[in-house]
A and B are shown apart, each in its own frame.
Chain A
Amino acid sequence: MIVSELGAPALAARLRSGGLRVRTGPVVVNIESPLADVHAGLALHYAQHTVEPADGFADFHVRVDRPRSLRRWIKPQVIFRHDGAEPFTPLAGNQGFAVLEWGLNWCVSTHCHQYLIVHAAVLERGGRALILPAPSGSGKSTLCAALAFGGGWRLLSDELALIDPATGRVVALPRPVSLKNDSIDLMRRFAPDAVFGAVVHETSKGEVAHARAPAEGLLRADQPALPAWVVLPRYLAGAPTQLAPLSRARGFMALVDNAFNYHVHGRSGFATFAGLIDRCACHEFSYSSLPEAVTLFDRLARSA
């Protein structure tokens, strides 16, 4: 069964009590929330996700709620809870769904050490994965969305590259793509078919909206891909579209710098990144035009 087959009343009932259990990539999450914007976000973005049985095993039990304080009557806040623990301070207003998404990314990046996890967008074409490691604000998600919605690439993740040390492959975690500020309208124009959720205004990152993960990414979520390219993206207003070669050593360090759990894996982490880089072509990429970027990556995919 998938979430859209539940229907809105059953979905809301589960979220209010007991929880909605959905699979996202390799993990099963039990989600509870009394908040309407969280219900709407899940109905929209998780419509095609598989509902898992309530008596099975869930990797994470999460809840998005109003904190218990007097503030809930004046300036309401939202809080993310992981099985009762509160890893973040409460945030203002109605950003429940965004908080849920950040919280789920946090759950995966701080617990799923069966993978080496890199802060990166990952896409696939012809069985080969493109890894875009970058800190927040570099234009990684915008480029990722353009390639996934209009570039013929399959979305594996817009945020977390889950690298399996045993196989060297990237495991897919196709989740809603998070876009910020000007990127939101840019993407609406660039990919008119993309489905967007509500725009949230009061986040610390400015305006945030999520685009529903493309259907192909969800249907093929169980298919990992072997990395072929590591590209460091950078959006620069007015900059020409430019792909420059990058030394393998710097490509390696980009993976280390953007890794969440490199320190946990020790020697085997080094070997995994080294093996990955050996298999990849490394580049630096700066852009300001999405159509040009998409054309360039199209050529890259066909070239080798």
Chain B
Amino acid sequence: MAVDRVCEALRRPQTLEALSPSGWDVLVRQARRSGLLARIGCILEAQGSIDAVPDAPRMHLRAAMLVAEAQHAEALRELASIETALAPTGVQPVLLKGCAYVAAGLLPAMGRIFTDIDILVPKHKLGEVEAALMLNGWATTHHSPYDQRYYRQWMHELPPLRHIRRGTVIDVHHAILPDTARLKPSSAKLLASARPIAELPRYAVLDSPDMVLHSMVHLFHNDDLSHSLRDLSDLDLLLRHQGRVPRFWADLVARARELDLARPLYYGLRYTNLRLGTPVPADTLRASAADAPGALVGRLSDALWSRALRPQHQTAADRWTPAALFALYVRAHWLRMPPVMLLRHLTVKALGLHEAPAAAST
């Protein structure tokens, strides 16, 4: 298989000091495509060796770090506006993914690139939250009746809302998986154990094990694999961050089973450990192995994920990569909705029927 410079850089950043100019050429290209250029820059800065990087690649790292910093500052400003908008609803939104890492100051905030803000609110508050946001300048983005119904009836989030002046996007979730998905993690349980952010008490984040499990679900159930390595690195940093508390590991497997997320946990621990050398206690690995798939599915999963969890760049691909990505794309849809519904959805999308205007539906 072709070379994966990004995993190598994440696993052993100290070896970058010996990297040749052509090695940097490939690393910068792969890291940019993976959304990890800023993170590698942050890691090098944290270990005090960024100034040893040759001028040309260093400028790309610094530029990406600057973009990430600007995005983080924008996200925090945006949270202030959302807080004002949602104040009358009394809802304390739970921040998810990139925004949560940044707002709560967690390790995966390092060089994390993101633009959309993801929040989780109780399902019965969804209408109130949407109305409050609309009153303050956010408007829906998917206008066709099919898309609106797709989101509102089947998905775990509202159609993305975009602010009409600032252009910023917020995704309002009421669950971490679609209602139609095979796995049924309870939103009530997730919300019940969420904890407020010390510096931003109007917001909360998921409890440590839940945050890790959500990150795993997001990675292993996503049909868009273009940033899968970035998500794996998030998971790696999150496990390293949360794993410093010994109780964390003891709770993790039990909590995963309680939330119907035992299989994603198995994959998450296996592939962070395999690809990025994430330290996982032997007890936890053993306990989670009870949730592993059978030998055949396990081997197939390894073959597929070993190709997906790489930079999606020509220098890192082999002849099976396109087939593996397609198989995982189909799998993500398969896990997201029952077969008949999936067939209908894909037919509508393929024929472009979801773009039909609302005219005749009065």
Verify that A and B bind, or say they do not. Answer: yes
A264 and B313 contact, CB distance less than 8 A: no
Q: Is the CB of B29 within 8 A of A57?
A: no
A56–B25 touching, CB < 8 Å = yes
- Please provide the chain A residues from 258 to 295 with a CB less than 8 Å away from any CB of chain B in the complex: 263-266
> Are B21 and A55 in touch, CB under 8 angstroms?
yes
Given contacts A56-B25, A57-B24, contact A114 B63 (CB under 8 A): yes
Interface segment, B52-60, B107-115, B142-150, B353-361? B52-60
Q: Which residues of A contact B74 (CB under 8 A)?
A: 263
The answer on a CB contact under 8 Å between A112 and B63 is: yes
Counting contact residues on chain A (CB < 8 A from B), the size range is 10 to 19
CA distance A112 to B59 in the complex (A): 8
Shortest distance from the beta carbon of B30 to any chain A beta carbon, whole Å: 10
- The answer, yes or no, to whether A28 is at the interface (CB within 8 Å) is yes
Stretch at the interface among B65-73, B128-136, B252-260: B65-73
* Contact partners of A188 in chain B: CB under 8 A: none
- Check B333 for interface membership: any CB of A closer than 8 A: no
Q: Known A84-B313, A264-B67, A264-B70; judge A59-B32 contact (CB<8 A).
A: no
Given A55-B22, A57-B24 in contact, is the A266-B313 Cβ separation under 8 Å?
no
Q: Write the nearest CB–CB distance from A146 to chain B, whole angstroms.
A: 33
Contact yes or no, B22 A266, CB < 8 A: no
Inter-chain contact B22/A113, CB cutoff 8 Å: no
Interface size classification for chain B: 20 to 34
- Chain B residues with Cβ below 8 Å from A113 are 62-63, 66-67
CB of A61 closer than 8 Å to a CB of B = yes
Interface residues of B in 16-62 (CB under 8 A from A): 20-22, 24-25, 28-29, 32-33, 54, 56-57, 59-60, 62
**Contact status A263-B21, CB under 8 Å:** no
Q: Which residue of B is nearest A265, CB measured?
A: B66
Q: Determine if A91 is an interface residue (Cβ-Cβ < 8 Å).
A: no
B70 touches A266 (CB 8 A): yes
Partner of A56, one of B21, B32, B59: B21
Specify the chain A residue showing the minimal Cβ separation from B73: A266
Q: Are B29 and A83 in contact (CB under 8 A)?
A: yes
Q: Are B25 and A58 in touch, CB under 8 angstroms? A: yes
Interchain CB contact under 8 A, B56 and A59: yes
Q: Is the CB of B56 within 8 A of A28?
A: yes
How far, in whole Å, are A111 and B64 apart by their CA atoms in the complex? 8
Give the docked Cα–Cα distance between A55 and B54 (Å).
15
Q: How far is the CA of A138 from the CA of B20 in the complex (A)?
A: 45
Instruction: Give Cα A275 to B197, complex, Å.
Output: 39
Task: Kindly list chain B residues whose C-beta atoms are within 8 Å of the C-beta of A264.
Answer: 66-67, 70
Residues of A within 8 A of B67 (CB): 113, 264
Interface of B toward A, CB cutoff 8 Å = 20-22, 24-25, 28-29, 32-33, 54, 56-57, 59-60, 62-63, 66-67, 69-70, 73-74, 313-314
- A→B interface (CB under 8 Å): 28, 55-59, 61, 83-85, 111-114, 263-266
Provide a sorted-by-A list of 16 A–B residue pairs whose CB atoms are within 8 angstroms: A28-B56, A55-B20, A55-B22, A56-B22, A57-B21, A57-B22, A57-B24, A57-B28, A57-B57, A59-B60, A61-B29, A113-B66, A114-B62, A263-B74, A266-B69, A266-B73
